[in-house]
Amino acid sequence: MTKKYAQRFKLEWLKDKRFEKWLEKVEGNDYRCFCKYCKCSIIAKVCDILKHSESSKHKRAAKPLSAQRLCLPSDEDWSMRFLGLKDDNGEHLCFTHRGKTRSHQAPFVPVPQDGAVSPAPSGKEVIIPASIGFIGAGNMAQALMNSFLAKGLVEPHLLMASAPSNRNLEKLPSGMRTTNDNNRLVKECDIIFLCVKPHLLTEMIEGLDPLERDHSPLFISVVTGFDICTLEQLLGSLIDAPRVVRTMPNTPCMVGQGCCVYTMGTNTNESDAKVVCSILHSVGYSAEIPEYQMDAACGLAGSGPAYIYTAIEALADGGVKMGLPRHLAHSLAAHTVKGAASMVLQSGKHPAQLKDEVCSPGGTTITAIHSLEKNGFRGALISAVEASANRAKELGNKS
């Protein structure tokens, strides 16, 4: 099979006056080259190299480099590239981004086990010098893309999305690459998010061409109901021993306040886990959990925002009924929910204790709590989580 999307790197390109000062070959990969100014890899294709040279990012970064020669590790584990570029002495390099000097060396924390909370990394954000693709450009894909860009995790030109029509592609942030060809995206990207509807996933994967052996992207699935084993079997038609991660994010990722749980596949390694940890921390809260807990997490966190939106709407309706203007009722309801959630997270107190602190003897709040209990408020929420989790299991059984 030939590389249709790239050429083999040609040594004469290093003597081309347009490229000689900044272009470099990537060790161990004949189909990619490296920009010494921007510290990023480029597809080994003249038109892509020229396009990169005309980008505003490249022009800003174009300046004399030190005599130290930048190099990318030639290790077969491509994901080590995302853990920090190093010089010939093994020292981590720094680079300039948006006027700030940042280190590629990420302050990663150990990946938690057995469902433990994964605390957010401290220190400066890390730019991922990899091409990240999204098959599907719906609400969840857009939420993740916007979160990555808002946190400065990746440059827009390193993001790519594919969809069968341009309806959603036209809504994406400027500077991103878009296509209607899933095969092009899979061949050009190093990290690939699978963001299609569950009933479309199998057909979509069956429509992809097998990949070259030297291109082994990391697949991150956000598709409900498809377990690791099924995903690895489906993607096994593209490449041997596919590296797969199963995730379950929710839509507040759009504003950097999301929840995302994830499970690493059988063929992934420690480097993959650190990359995924860094990426998913940008959406808000994230945790690695055993796969058997994924359906329950879907019922709680995946569907949970809809429960809270319904509660906010109902609270606002109650305010309107009692004489508040609609816009004020919405604002009060939303900020009340936000403030209560912050109290739970920041105080460390049990929600029941915080509730008791608001309920004065014979007061308004305890009277309202009594009304909620009579109408099955707690039972309704528990049943909602149960129903959503059971539906997730059903979807998994059908996959």
User: pLDDT tens for residues 8-30?
Assistant: 788 888 878 788 788 888 776 77
Q: Are residues 163 and 283 in the same domain?
A: yes
CATH number of the domain to which 309 belongs? 1.10.3730.10
Q: Answer whether residue 83 shows pLDDT above 70.
A: no
Residue finishing a domain among 256, 282, 302: 302
Which span out of 10-19, 26-35, 192-201 was modeled with the highest average pLDDT?
192-201
* Cα 170 from chain centroid (whole Å): 20
Q: Are residues 89 and 57 in the same domain?
A: yes
Q: Are residues 290 and 351 in the same domain?
A: no
110 vs 222, more confident:
222
- The model scores a pTM over 0.85: no
Rounded to whole angstroms, the Cα distance separating 231 from 66 reads: 45
User: pLDDT tens for residues 343-398?
Assistant: 999 999 999 999 999 999 999 999 999 999 999 999 999 999 999 999 988 877 77
Residue finishing a domain among 246, 271, 302: 302
Q: Are residues 214 and 348 in the same domain?
A: no
Max alpha carbon distance in the chain (Å)? 85
Question: Does residue 64 fall inside a structural domain?
Answer: yes
pLDDT of residue 54: 82
Instruction: Give mean pLDDT, residues 104-122.
Output: 37
pLDDT of residue 190: 92
129 vs 6, more confident:
129
Rounded to whole angstroms, the Cα distance separating 386 from 261 reads: 18
Instruction: Give mean pLDDT, residues 173-177.
Output: 89
| 75 — pLDDT class (breaks 50, 70, 90) | very low
Question: Does residue 5 fall inside a structural domain?
Answer: no
Q: Are residues 151 and 40 in the same domain?
A: no
* Contact of 261 with 286, CB cutoff 8 Å: yes
> Residue 137 is encoded by which pair of tokens?
């450009």
User: pLDDT tens for residues 237-255?
Assistant: 999 899 999 999 998 888 8
For CA atoms 162, 164, 168, 171, the dihedral sign is positive
Question: Does residue 116 fall inside a structural domain?
Answer: no
Counted domains in the chain: 3
Instruction: Give mean pLDDT, residues 164-186.
Output: 91
Rounded to whole angstroms, the Cα distance separating 134 from 136 reads: 6
User: pLDDT tens for residues 272-331?
Assistant: 888 898 888 888 899 999 999 999 999 999 999 999 999 999 999 999 999 999 999 999
Question: Does residue 68 fall inside a structural domain?
Answer: yes
Q: Answer whether residue 124 shows pLDDT above 60.
A: no
Which span out of 135-144, 230-239, 306-315 was modeled with the highest average pLDDT?
306-315
pLDDT of residue 9: 81
Q: Which helix (H) or strand (E) holds 352?
A: helix 351-358
Q: Are residues 326 and 286 in the same domain?
A: no
Rounded to whole angstroms, the Cα distance separating 274 from 148 reads: 16
User: pLDDT tens for residues 145-159?
Assistant: 888 888 888 888 999
62 vs 275, more confident:
275
Q: Are residues 285 and 152 in the same domain?
A: yes
Question: Does residue 147 fall inside a structural domain?
Answer: yes
Q: Answer whether residue 110 shows pLDDT above 60.
A: no
Residue finishing a domain among 93, 124, 146: 93
Q: Are residues 85 and 163 in the same domain?
A: no
215 vs 332, more confident:
332
Owning domain of residue 242? 132-302
Instruction: Give mean pLDDT, residues 206-229.
Output: 90
pLDDT of residue 129: 65
> Residue 173 is encoded by which pair of tokens?
């942030």
